Amino acid sequence: MADKTRFLLDEKDMPTAWYNLLADAPRPLDPYLHPMTNEPIGPDDLAPLFPMALIMQEVSTERWVDIPEPILDAYRIWRPSSRWR
């Protein structure tokens, strides 16, 4: 019998937060640098490119980051598989 590769979760078992690996890194990663100034970029530099909620997730040092409700809604309909073919 092959190892089980797919697990279907009931809605009540779906995760509600993402685990942030950076919270347990031995040291903080070097900051991204602005291509024009070579200075560390901040949320204001990223705001024209990304929604602020996404930026705050990216710079978070919290161990658990709540999954936004619109994403949870999408997960209730369809959840991607980690198995690629």
Q: What is the mean pLDDT of residues 12-16?
A: 87
Residues 6+ apart with CB under 8 A from 29: 22
Structure tokens at 77: 């309909």
Q: What is the mean pLDDT of residues 52-74?
A: 89
Q: How much is the mean pLDDT over the chain?
A: 85
Instruction: State the pLDDT confidence band at 41, using cuts at 50, 70 and 90.
Output: very high
Could you give the domains of the chain?
12-77 (3.40.50.1100)
| One-character DSSP codes across 31-78 | PPB-TTT-SBP-HHHHTTTS-HHHHHHHH---SEEEPPHHHHHHHHH-
Distance (Å, rounded) from C-alpha 25 to C-alpha 21?
7
pLDDT at 50: 93
Greatest distance between any 2 Cα atoms in the chain: 58
pLDDT at 36: 92
